[in-house]
């Protein structure tokens, strides 16, 4: 039997209530519900600007567990690749202002018109390499989020923690992993790759659930406890590897959770964090 997690380690990824709340409302909502962490997406961050958002988050006692997202490196030409690099440099600077624990990288898929996934992965490696020195100088760890293989073409051609760990080995310090249970729960090497990552590389832990059936592979994620993922088991693995950070709820749910009152959603997140994680 797994122990319930520390309620102080719950974090809200703003995607979970993105449709009905502004970033200001999200910050106030976290404080109201006793949620101590927050991870904003950059579209929401733009509403306030990084400096104003950082000031407001600090005044409410919130830890910024991550900034979503950087990445999206592959492109059809040099100009597109350079634009992606410049966008990531800006994201790193915003993450530094927020004092975020990491910048999450959704690395990007295959460029339009291409079938070269190996080439896309090379572009990802080169793109991360091009921004890593700046991230180190800013004190912002970069967290590669391996996405489920169904997203290999359009969102992320890094699909396993093994691939992400290999990139960390190749590129060095300042690079780690964001472990999102939705994307990696199925991997037979998951425990081994979490152990391989260890405490220095485990930068973020994202939680939700995989519904059966799933109505939409992007926009039908479940609340913890509503699906088939053994979240307490995976949590035990990341903690055994040395992770002591937050548990960040990230739910994309167009037909369910996004339609509900966000205060109800946050209350259920708190309860399920204790009962199902």
pLDDT of residue 85: 98
Rounded CA separation 182/99 (Å): 26
4-16 CB burial, b ≥16 within 10 A, e <16 = ebeeebbbbbbbb
Q: Does domain 7-276 have CATH number 3.30.200.20?
A: no
Band (94; pLDDT cuts 50, 70, 90): very high
pLDDT of 1 > 80? The answer is: no
pTM: 0.98
Q: If you compute the radius of gyration of the chain from its CA atoms, what whole number of angstroms results? A: 18
Render pLDDT for 45-63 as a digit per residue (tens, 0 to 9).
Answer: 999 999 999 999 999 999 9
């Amino acid at each position: 039997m797994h122990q319930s997690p520390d309620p102080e380690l719950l974090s809200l990824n703003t995607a979970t209530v993105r449709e009905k709340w502004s970033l200001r409302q999200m910050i106030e909502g976290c404080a109201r519900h006793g949620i101590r962490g927050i991870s904003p997406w950059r579209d929401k961050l733009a509403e306030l600007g990084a400096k104003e958002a950082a000031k407001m988050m600090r005044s409410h006692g919130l830890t910024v567990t991550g900034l979503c997202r950087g990445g999206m490196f592959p492109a059809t030409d040099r100009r597109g690749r350079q634009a992606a690099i410049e966008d990531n440099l800006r994201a790193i600077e915003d993450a530094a202002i927020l004092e975020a624990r990491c910048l999450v990288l959704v690395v990007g898929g295959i460029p339009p018109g291409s079938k070269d996934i190996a080439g896309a992965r090379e572009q990802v490696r080169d793109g991360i390499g091009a921004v890593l020195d700046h991230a180190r100088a800013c004190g912002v760890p970069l967290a590669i989020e391996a996405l489920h293989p169904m997203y290999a073409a359009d969102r992320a051609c890094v699909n396993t923690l093994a691939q992400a760990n290999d990139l960390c080995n190749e590129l060095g310090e300042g690079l780690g992993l964001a472990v999102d249970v939705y994307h990696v729960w199925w991997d037979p090497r998951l425990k081994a790759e979490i152990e391989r990552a260890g405490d220095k590389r485990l930068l973020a832990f994202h939680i939700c659930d995989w519904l059966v059936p799933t109505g939409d592979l992007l926009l039908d994620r479940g609340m913890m406890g509503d699906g088939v993922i053994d979240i307490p088991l995976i949590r035990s693995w990341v903690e055994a590897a040395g992770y002591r950070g937050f548990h960040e709820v990230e739910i994309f749910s167009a037909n369910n959770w996004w339609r509900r009152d966000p205060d109800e959603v946050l209350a259920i997140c708190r309860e399920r964090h204790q009962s199902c994680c």
